[in-house]
Amino acid sequence: MKKLTTLLLGLLLPIGLCAQEDWKALTRYEKAPIKKQLADRLMGYVKFDTQSKVSGKVPSTSGQLQLAKALAKELKKNGATNVKVDKFGLVTAEIPSNLAQPAPTVAFVTHLDSAPGFASQNIRPQLHNYKGSDIVINAAQGLTLNSYNAPQLLRAKGHDIITASGNTILGADGKAGAAILLTMAQYFYDHPQLPHGTVKLVFSPDSYTGTGIRHLDTTALGADFAYTLDAGEMGQLVDETFSAKTFKAVFEGNRSVDIGKAASLPFADNILMASDFHTLLPRTKRPETTAYKNGFIYVSDIITQGNHTEVTGILRAFSEQEMETLTQEVSRAFSTVKSLNPKGKNFSLTFGGQDKNLQQAIPPLSLRKAEEAMRAEDITPVRTASRTTTDGARLAEKGLAAPGLSTGFYNNPSTLEYADVDSMEAALRTVLRLTSLWSAQPVSAQ
């Protein structure tokens, strides 16, 4: 009996030690060097000008490709395999499993680009330790970060905060996620004893324009489950997004006449038609007049070349019923303009590019695992409906729906944007814990 007890203890002791080592590695590491890695990475990445632009190519700007190549080099340095940068600037990499048994393959996705229309050249990041008083971003401009314009600071006393210098955005949306994923890759590389299944990493261009992730071959990626790192506040779990649709209205007139004799000539003002169309769209359905789960209509561009004017825009709605209502509103305004301008010609209205609500496609197990990981790290998960479309929703169209996880950035996009390094560290612990939980998930139980 004594020999049997000794044998059992010998068998169980390594398991117990492994569990303790697992817990320590995931949540009891020394935070200061990890926070420095996160901060250094983010402050390095934001110096790449990766502003996304509406264009016909992917990536839409050269800075995104430059960052993609830099990340690929860093991934290889930290033990990632199958690291590739394709012609679209998509970066894919793998952290191979070190388990004896099969486990689900999990992908983490973030993006390379920063918001279009906001200054992103020569970003000069600044690191502050928040003591509770205002953070001065730019004294000459009187630009400060405080609990009024950044209420999350009320919970951040003692945290390390990264801002830009007042003339640009910070560009942490996406790049905070990149810093977290590269730090995770290094952590696994530095701690090979930490058990984990196969992890796939994806860094996509042009998330803001919705064009980059569409080039990802999800079949070749081979992930069973996926998450995007593109939410902000700690604890956010994005499980719902707007459905999205684009529209383009075309008006052709004839303004190439003697306008002094316009009353007796086939004069038709395509610019006025476009203006009337924009005005007829309901003001109660504009972005600035809607909130929460109320959708909107937004005209993004009105472009005129001679007698030809194009009006392009987007529709956003959480339900198919509301999307249909918004579509009808656009069609009604277009039909009214067409009927009021019999001298116009070649009128057309087209809709396209629809993204579905992420909620319709997420596997419930993905959400449960994310919530379990957060709670294990003493983070309260908050399921959140996003008023933007995400790469997670676009991946849903490819059969790989990806809920969004927090990366600790706030006030994006603006000169008041900042990243909370302590929140980034909590996000790192979340993805490490999440990887551990998936590693223990029987493949047959998916």
In a domain, 9, yes or no: no
pLDDT of residue 132: 94
pLDDT at residue 265, as a whole number: 81
Co-location of 261 and 330 in the same domain: yes
Q: Is 339 domain-assigned? A: yes
Average pLDDT for residues 352-375, to the nearest whole number?
Answer: 90
Q: What is the pLDDT of residue 232?
A: 84
For residue 6, is it within any domain?
Answer: no
Q: What pLDDT, on a 0 to 100 scale, did the predictor assign at position 390?
A: 83
199 and 256 within one domain: no
Q: State whether 296 and 430 are in the same domain.
A: no
Query: At 310, which CATH number?
Result: 3.30.70.360
288 and 363 part of one domain? no
Average confidence (pLDDT) over 295-310: 95
Mean pLDDT in residue range 353-367: 86
Q: For 154-168, what is the mean pLDDT?
A: 96
Average pLDDT over all residues of the chain: 91
Gyration radius (Cα) of the chain, Å: 25
pLDDT of residue 218: 96
**Within a 13 Å sphere around the CA of 118, how many CA atoms are in the beta-carbon half?**
21
Q: What is the CATH number of the domain that holds 425?
A: 3.40.630.10
Which pLDDT does position 167 carry in this prediction?
A: 93
Domain for residue 211, yes or no? yes
What is the arithmetic mean of pLDDT over 7-31? 52
Statement: residue 8 has pLDDT above 50:
no
Q: Are residues 231 and 270 in the same domain?
A: no
pLDDT at 446 > cutoff 90? no
- State which residues form the domain around 207: 23-240+358-445
Phi-psi region of 89 (alpha: psi -120 to 50; beta: other; left: phi over 0): left
- Chosen domain end from 322, 355, 388: 355
Lowest mean pLDDT among 163-172, 234-243, 304-313: 234-243
End of a domain among 330, 355, 380? 355
Q: Is residue 39 part of a domain?
A: yes
Per-residue confidence (pLDDT) for residue 13, from 0 to 100: 36
Helix pair angle (421-439, 31-45), 10° resolution = 110
Whether residues 119 and 265 share a domain: the answer is no
Q: What does the pLDDT read at residue 61?
A: 94
Task: Say yes or no to pLDDT of 11 above 90.
Answer: no
Separation between Cα atoms, residue 75 and residue 352, nearest integer Å: 37
Confidence of residue 25 (pLDDT cuts 50, 70, 90): low
For residues 219 and 267, membership in a common domain is answered with: no
Q: Is residue 12 part of a domain?
A: no
Does the pLDDT of residue 213 top 60, yes or no? yes
Same domain flag for 257 and 385: no
Q: Which of 28-32, 309-313, 371-375 has the lowest mean pLDDT?
A: 28-32
Domain-terminating residue out of 339, 355, 371: 355
Q: Give yes or no: residues 177 and 308 share one domain.
A: no
Residue 32 has phi, psi (to 5 degrees) of -55, -50
As a whole number, mean pLDDT of residues 254-264 equals 80
Residues 342 and 365 in one domain: no
Q: Same structural domain for residues 61 and 166? A: yes
Check whether residue 156 and residue 109 sit in a common domain. Answer: yes
Parallel/antiparallel/unpaired status of strands 296-305 and 308-317: antiparallel
Q: Which residues of 4-32 are buried (b: 16+ CB within 10 A; e: fewer)?
A: eeeeeeeeeeeeeeeeebbeebbeebebe
Q: Is residue 8 part of a domain?
A: no
Q: Is the pLDDT of residue 21 over 50?
A: yes
Average pLDDT of the residues in 205-221? 92
Q: Is the pLDDT score of 54 beyond 90?
A: no
HSE value, Cβ hemisphere, 13 Å, CA-based, for 43 = 19
Q: Give the DSSP letter string of 138-180.
A: ETTTTEEE-TTT-GGGGG-TT-EEEE--SSS---HHHHHHHHH
Binned at pLDDT 50, 70 and 90, residue 26 comes out as: low
> Average pLDDT in the 324-349 region?
96
| Residues 410-445 pLDDT 10s | 999 999 999 999 999 999 999 999 999 999 988 764
Q: Which two structure tokens, joined as six digits, stand for 389?
A: 């479309």
How many other β-carbons are positioned within 10 Å of the β-carbon of residue 89?
28
Segment 171-194 shows an average pLDDT of: 96
* 201: helix, strand or coil: strand
Angstrom distance (rounded) from CA 273 to CA 277: 6
> What's the residue count for the chain?
446
Banded pLDDT at 266 (limits 50, 70, 90): confident
Give the number of domains in the chain: 2
- What is the share, in percent, of the chain residues with pLDDT greater than 70? 93
Q: Is 278:329 a contact under the CB 8 Å cutoff?
A: no
CA gap 316, 329 in Å, rounded: 13
Longest dimension (CA), the chain: 112
Pairing of strands 404-406, 225-231: parallel
Dihedral sign of CA atoms 262, 268, 274, 280 in order:
positive
Quickly state the pLDDT bin for 357 (edges 50, 70, 90).
Answer: confident
What pLDDT is recorded for position 10? Answer: 40
Angle between helices 172-190 and 62-77 (to 10 degrees): 10
| Overall average pLDDT of the 248-257 stretch | 91
pLDDT of res. 22: 61
Query: Is 367 inside a domain boundary?
Result: yes
Confidence class of residue 209 from pLDDT cuts 50, 70 and 90?
confident
